[in-house]
Structure 1
Amino acid sequence: MNGKVALVTGGSRGMGKAIALRLAQEGADVAITYVNSEDAAREVVAKVESMGRRALAIRADAADAGDAAGAVERAADDLGRLDVLVNNAGIGVLGPIDSLTLADVNRVLDVNIRAVFLASQAAAGRLADGGRIISTGSALAKYAGGPGGSLYSLSKSALIGMTKALARELGGRGITVNLVHPGAIDTDLNPADGPYAEPQKAATALGRFGSVDEVASLVAYLAGEEAGYITGAELVIDGGHSA
């Protein structure tokens, strides 16, 4: 990916951080967005720059429509081009449907659906031909939804239709659009040694959580030249939970 520029939303921690660092390892200059974790964002920038790549941290709240699109424009302007957009930022609000407030609904839909659409819309006008749009869905939303997940599942399932339609729309320019569905991944929000970990491990074929680096490797493949004939696809990385 030498000479390429990637933007990873929510790239200061967890899966986003791992994706940003992996793309930099592959040779890309990388921009990330963050909301509150400025120190963590600076750490990612320093690590990318230590690899000899350019890096940029953009404070942007995905719940803000202007920020969602503006981050794409700034990344392309400041780094000179845009080749890869990774829509990674997202939130999860879980609970019985009668406990969810209108504020919960609005924020989840704003972050998990509207921001992805607006960033992708902005990227469609800035991506180089042969570019990539990769979004983070959820294996839970597609294959293993459960009680308390109605709002989260709604928000992640919406990305399926957008991905397929946008792949058709941008295919003539060689731009691919794909959706990655992670399962149980070891992060601060869902640790592999947390109180809810054992049932999740037991539900997988491999009997373990995945790592953020394993997710990052899949995203890096989709972002690279070898994946140029994969578009409109949903790729599940869930340790066989859906098997």
Structure 2
Amino acid sequence: MGRVSGKVVLLTGGAMGLGKASAKALIAEGARVIITDIDHAAGAATAAELSCEFLPQDVTDWGRWQEIVAEVEQTHGRLDVLVNNAAVTVFGSFMDISPEDFRRCYTIDVDSIFMGCKAAIPLMAKGGGGSVINFSSAAGNKANADLAAYNSAKAAIPMLTKSIALWCAREGNNVRVNSVQPGTILTPNVESVIAGTPDPDATRAAFSVAQPIGRMGEPEDIAHLVVYLASDESKFATGAPFIVDGGLSMA
């Protein structure tokens, strides 16, 4: 315990799935975690379960980002870690989805990271530095004909991360910025997708064998990486895409 002891962490999309698992792991290692989510009820329930703070947030709202960061500064006086986890998956080929759905995917998955970094990094720098962790996906490395918006949005995140990391290095503000690219992880969202198919057992098997390792990942597989990137153990890592996908992007 104590790998991130005393660090103040702001984590978006923390109500469930990878966000919730990451928050739980960070808290177990001593962090003070503030989760945000657009789902007020689920966010409040998770905060009560994990004994952490919850702030309602639409991550596409620039004004709300400024309010959130100001509240964190007022309450805690600092911000050490930002985890940009909130995202949406838009299914469909480029011919099937509407321009509105395409833009929605980018606004939630990419624009929110731009806004989060822009709002939070000055406060992190003011406190002496910190770590930004941007969630991408193995879908940013491996294309699918029916994931045109999601594939391209998630592919944009590692490059945006590199650009922000280089800016921070040039500024000498001691803020590190890295991205995480999970493969297929058995989250409640994936479970619901599997359950909604005509043959859930066959779908589960197909999802599993898609990874060369032969199984889907568990939320804790990603949460452990988030703890590492949030901790001082990763002090020499910046601008890097951390791929944890069971070999999916190699297949």
**TM-score, normalization by structure 2:** 0.88
Range with greater deviation from structure 2 (3-12 or 168-177): 168-177
The 3 A distance-change label for structure 1 pair 161 and 3 is same
SS at match of 1:129: coil
- The aligned counterpart of 2:222 is 215
SS at match of 1:189: helix
**Contact 1:210 / 1:238 at 8 angstroms: preserved in 2?**
yes
List 4+ stretches of structure 1 deviating above 6 A: none
- The aligned counterpart of 2:137 is 138
Specify the code of the residue in structure 2 equivalent to 1:154.
S
Match of 2:43 among 41, 44, 50: 41
**Contact 2:37 / 2:43 at 8 angstroms: preserved in 1?**
yes
SS at match of 1:178: strand
Deviations 1:105-151 (A, max 9, x none): 22111111111100101111111323000010010221x21111111
SS at match of 1:16: helix
* CA distance in 2: counterparts of 1:43 and 1:231, whole angstroms: 34
**Contact 1:15 / 1:187 at 8 angstroms: preserved in 2?**
yes
The percentage of aligned residue pairs carrying the same residue is 34
Range with greater deviation from structure 2 (67-76 or 144-153): 67-76
C-alpha displacement of 1:80: 2.4
- The aligned counterpart of 1:23 is 26
C-alpha displacement of 1:221: 0.4
C-alpha displacement of 1:61: 1.1
Can you give the 5+ residue segments of structure 2 that lack an aligned partner in the other structure?
Answer: 195-199
The 3 A distance-change label for structure 1 pair 199 and 68 is farther
* CA distance in 2: counterparts of 1:80 and 1:212, whole angstroms: 30
Specify the code of the residue in structure 1 equivalent to 2:43.
A
**TM-score, normalization by structure 1:** 0.91
- The aligned counterpart of 2:243 is 236
**Contact 2:140 / 2:156 at 8 angstroms: preserved in 1?**
no
Does 1:60 pair with 2:62? no
Specify the code of the residue in structure 1 equivalent to 2:13.
G
Does 1:32 pair with 2:30? no
C-alpha displacement of 1:37: 4.4
Does 1:82 pair with 2:79? yes
Can you give the 5+ residue segments of structure 1 that lack an aligned partner in the other structure?
Answer: 50-54
RMSD of aligned Cα (Å): 1.7
C-alpha displacement of 1:48: 3.5
- The aligned counterpart of 1:155 is 153
**Contact 1:30 / 1:48 at 8 angstroms: preserved in 2?**
no
Does 1:93 pair with 2:95? no
* CA distance in 1: counterparts of 2:207 and 2:50, whole angstroms: 33
- The aligned counterpart of 1:108 is 105
Specify the code of the residue in structure 2 equivalent to 1:189.
N
Deviations 1:82-118 (A, max 9, x none): 0000000000101121221122122111111111100
What is the number of equivalent residue pairs in this alignment? 236
**Contact 2:139 / 2:155 at 8 angstroms: preserved in 1?**
no
C-alpha displacement of 1:10: 0.3
* CA distance in 1: counterparts of 2:161 and 2:34, whole angstroms: 22
